[in-house]
Each structure stands twice: as C-alpha cells, then as structure tokens.
Structure 1
Amino acid sequence: MSLPPAWESSWAAHLPHLRGIQSALGFLRAFPTHTPRIGQLDAELLDEELAQVLQEPLAKAFEGVRSSWRGVFNLELGLLIRLILYKFSIWDNAASYGASLQGLKLADTRAPGSPIRRKKLLLHALLTLGIPYLHARIRGYALSRAWPDAPSTDRRRRAWAWLTSAENAHAVLGLAGFVAFLWDGRYRTLTDRLLGLRLVPSRRVDRVVSYEFMNRQIVWHALTEFLLFLVPLVDVAALRRRLRQYLFSLRKSPYLPSPVRTLLERDSTSTSSEGEQKGPYATLPSNECAICARRAALPNLPYPLANQLAASSIIVGASVPTYPVQTPYVASCGHVYCYVCLTEQMVAAADEGEEGWSCLRCNKVVKSAARLKADDSEVVDADEEDLGDPDAVTPEAD
C-alpha cells in the first residue's frame, strides 16, 4: 500500500531536520535505558551488609586471640575487608557485588562508551574508603584525648571545632546530593557526582517482584505461633492414654498388618498379666492421701502439668511427709482419698473432657467415688495396726 504523494513529500522535507535532531542528541546514547533509583540504593545496602557479614567472624577470631584487639583494630579490619572487596569487584569489573546483583555497573559520564580510567578508580577508592577511615580514626583519637573539653584557646579545641564544622558541611552537602539524586536519579553519592560516575544497567533486569517466598514465610510464622499457643494446652498423658486405647481397640481389625496386631496383642497380654498396675504413689501408706502428697511435691501447678509430672519417675520413692486422709472417700478403683482432693481432681478431669481421673496408686481411671463405710474391708491396712498411728484413717459409720 503506497502512501499519498503529499505524505511522501512532507516526510522527505522533514527527514533532514529529524536527522539533525538525532545527531544533536547523540551524546545521550550511552544511557539509553532508565536506571531505577531503588536498585541503586539497594546496591549500596547490599555492599554494606556484605562487608559486615565478613567482618563479624574475623572480629570474633581476634577476640579469641586477645579480647582487646577487637576494639583496637576494628577500623583497620573493616578497611582491609572493604579494600579486598573493592579490588575484586569495582577495580576488576567496574561493579560492586551489590550492583552486580542488581544488574548495574559504574560508567563514566564524562567519557561515554570507554572504560573508567585507573586514576579515577584510585581517587574513587580514596574518597569512599580512605577518607571515612581517616575521619573515624581522627574522631576516635580526639575523643580519647578529650579534645571537646579543652579550653577554647587551646589548639585541640579549635581542631575539634574545625572537624565538627567539616562534618556538618558534609552532612548538608550529602542531604542536598541525595535530594538531587531523588530528583534526577543519576548520581547516588557526592563522590559519584564529583567524579562523574553513575550506575547504569549492565543487563536487562526484570523488576517484577515475586511474593512467593514472603507468603511462605508468613504461613510458617502463623503456624509456629499457633503451635506455641496450642502445645501448652495439650494434656500429653491423656492424649497418650487415648491413643493407646484406640490402638488396643484396633488389634482385632482384619485390615491391620499381622506384625502390628501381634505386637498389640502381646502388649495387651503383658499388661493384663501384670495384675494391678502401679502408680507413682503405689508405695504410699494407705492412711495418707496421695493427692495431698503430690501437691506438696508439685506446688502451684495446673492440673494437666501436675498430673504428667506425678506420673513420671522423678518423684517416685521420694520422701514425703505424712498427709492423713480427711473426710475419706473411696474411689471406684478401691483407694481412699480426701473428699475435697478427689472431687477437685474429678471435676478438673471432666473439664478437660476426659472420661475420668487416673488414680495415683494404681493408674486406673476413676469414674466415681463414694463415702467410706465402716464395713469396707479395703480400708484395713496391716501397717496401720502394727504402727498404731494415731492419725490413721478410721472408717466412719453411716
């Protein structure tokens, strides 16, 4: 499809003018793409973090040799690390490690298309590494010699005033340079602006941010917080007991593997052949309340935690004082406890959603209790009769 003759003549008439504009703007071809400001700032932060990560283990190594070396040679160690990083990054590749991660490199705006001269790189290293080191060393020396406290006529005081004025001037110029950088996005620091160096893209960078890792971290953080909230509320002993009962109920299932079924049947047989199970207070005299003894050994603990610790072997056989039974009530397992103690434990177990409370003498589940009667033969204890304990429990008549 051919263009109208009027269009073709107009294009031919304006083409020399367009070529003149293109040749006049030829000096801008060295930076054809826009460099994001956030990438340049991130490169500087990454360089600083890398230097700190490398400096910390070396400083700890100095502490291991002599503890005073870390404070004395901390500035020199930081300067050495930054010089090494400068040699293998900016000096060799015209890009620091942080800039390389951002897809940037240093370029000389005063000599577009040509590599940066070594003299300019040396001056850049002196201004970015040498001057800050000298400033920190001079400031530390002045503070250690109390220059700010010297008389106003002393030359040390005048040197400190000059140093403070230089710091303030540098801070003001740095703020002005940063504002200019936010405006045009060209020179990141005063040194770069003075030497005509700026960061330009070294490769095509995709600025699309993926939030997959952040979402994963948020999910794991929420799960961790939930577990930290949930775990202290779980009664491990009750959970273990219910799991054991559930496994025993599956031992007759035809779908269960034969090795697992054999193991469960063997465990059930051994448990039943042992006769009466032993609790942590099985050896306590029958005229003493095991709940009172447990409370004395584990004071001020909530019911689930105290029940778990009482079931452990730490307190088995411990020497405890005498705790006579007050208002004796006999549990469904046949052991006697105080009415208040037994009622409190059964109510707490019901609040926890359990079927009953585990006896501290036989580990059987207590589902009910009744007032101790005079003709109950289970309360007669031979040790009581032999010892003649005045605090021995006496069955009460109805």
Structure 2
Amino acid sequence: MSLPTSWQSSWASHIPQLTAIQRTLGSFRPFPHHIPRIGQLDADLLDEELAQVLQEPLTKALQGLQSSWRGLFTLELGLLIRLILYKLSIWDNAASYGAQLQGLKLVDAHAISTSNAGPGEIRRQKLFLHALLTLGVPYLHARIRGYALSRAWPDRPRTDQRRLAWACLTSAENAHAVLGLAGFVTFLWDGRYRTITDRILGLRLVSSRRVDRVISYEYMNRQIVWHALTEFLLFLVPLVDVAALRRGIRQYLLSLRKSTYVPSLIKGLLERDPTTSSSNELKGPYTSLPPTECAICAERAALPNISYPLSNQLTASTIIGAFVPSYPVQTTYVGDCGHSYCYVCLTEKMVQAADEGKEGWRCLRCGKTVKSAARLKPVEEGEVIDGSEEDLGDPDATAAS
C-alpha cells in the first residue's frame, strides 16, 4: 500500500527540520545519575563481612596447629581469600560481591572522558594496580608493623635506625589517616569516590541496571540458610547419644545373621566372635591367678601372667605375693562364668561392654563371655568352704559343707 503523494511531499519537506532538532538534542550533556552514598558504603561493608565469613571456618580448622604457626599464617590466609574474591568478582565482572548486591559496578571515569578504553571499561593494568593498592599494601603494612612490634622497635634508643624506621612508619600511618578522612569528607560532599585509591585511579561506582534502589537478596538468603542449618546441627549433635546409636547399629548388624538375603561370606564374618577361642577349652590371660585376687585389678597394674599348675595354688600365691603386691577382691561379685571380681571393677567392665554394643564381657580367667553377675552370699556359721573355684561358680549358693 503506497502513501498519498501529498503525505510523501510533506514528509520530505520536514526531514531537514527533524535532523536539526536531533543534532541539537545530541549536543546536550546527559542528566547526571545520582548513586546513593549509603549503597556504596554498604558494598564495602558486605565485602569485608564476606571475607570474614569465609576466613572464620578455615581459622577454626587450623586451631589444631601450633599457636606460633597460626599467628604466622593468619595474614597470608586472609590475603589469599581476598585475592580469590577479587579475581572472581572485580577482575572478572568489574564489581565486587557487595557491589553486585547493591546493583553497582566499577567504571573508569577517565576512560569515559577520554574514550581510550571504551565507555566505562577498566583496563587490566589499572585493575592490577588497584589490587596492589587495596590488597598488597595493607598486607605489607600489617606484616611490617607486626615484625616491628615483635622486635620492640618503639623501645629502641632514638639514635637507633630501627627507632627511626618506626617513626617513619608512624608518620606514614598518620598521613594516610588524614588523607582518608579528607577523602571520606569529600565523598560525602560529592558522592563520587569512596576511597583515596579510587580517587587516584579514577574508579567509581555506577548503577549496573536501570532500576535503582532494588537490592538482590540472593547471596544474603543463601548465607541465612547455611547459618540456620549450622545452628540446627550445633543444637542437634549434642542431643544424639553416640553410644546408643552405636549399640543400635551393632544390634542391626547382629540381626542380619538370621537374614536369608545376606551373602554367606558376609554372614560368616558377622557370625565370627573375636572374643571366643578356636579351641574347645577357653582360657583367659589370668587363669593361674589365685581365686582371692581380682584379675581386673591385676590387669590394670600390668601384673605379669606367671603360669602355675592349678593343683599347686598355694605355691603360686606364695611366689606371686613375694614379687608383686596382692589385689584382694573387694565386695565380691561372681559372674555367670563362675569367677569372682570386685564389684566396682566388674560393673565398669560390664557397662563398658554394653556401651560398645557387645553381648558381654570376656572373663580374664576362663575367657567366657560374662553376661550377668550376682553378689556372693556370705558364708553362714557352721558352713565350711575349701576355697576352690568350683565353689565360687554358683553365686546363689555357698560352698558345700
């Protein structure tokens, strides 16, 4: 469909006027875009908090090292974390993580005016210089200051070169503080450059999107979720009974013995009891110890196992008593294997075996598994015992008269 001839002629006559208006509008400077100062300051605070959050778990992980090593590598660890963050944020995207949360990015104000590196693009040389001034110089300052304090440079005589070097370092710190204060006041006035380094290099923060004052909470929500999960684990772990959990797992593994779905090889490994001996006659490490001695007390004292015939217990007791102290049974309790021990010793062994999920405790005299114990009844008047181990085998009955 073609337009009427009168419309086409009217459009052609007005083209010069429209072109002149377009040229006039193009000569006007764009309206300056205002970046909130609080957003630029919050970006620095968020970057510092992120570095601390990442450094804290690594510092806790290195608590097992020597204190001298921790103090030696703390600054290097912080520098490494900040270098990684700088590479993944400012070096790659021209914006730190805090600036991304605020919807800001770094641009080169000098590049905007001269158009050497494109509109707002930052050259790699300037980024390297920015990293050196913001990360390298503070690290060197902290390392030199720590070294000077550890060598007591401030206490040296006035004529000492180290005292003079300390005075120069202090003067440089004071000058930097004054310049930083002046730069911050200037930033509050014009809102362009946050720090002296940004002002020297001509780097400033501008909005990275059209909509201002809209903050992305993606990173913050992620941090809140991880923090809540960590707090929940710290609350839950102390409530877990590790011994009961271990017993439950062992009972579950023992219940697999009766399962028909377990392979024969695994079932054979589960049915093997390391506390039992392969021979028909079980024998403990303290078989030859006299019946009036507590084998658990002897084991704690590392009593040597001197083998003697059971028929000559009197001679064995005499020889052992001549070289090592005796350990008489206190508050006699007899296990279901028939041997007597101290109440405290036997109870401790039984509780320890229960905590480890075992079915019982292995007797130090006969090697049998002790699952229960009872107190030895006192001998009534008129009853006679011969002192043999067979008489101690029944906890509910005294020796035969």
TM-score tier, shorter chain, comes to 0.3 to 0.5
Which TM-score applies when normalising by structure 1? 0.47
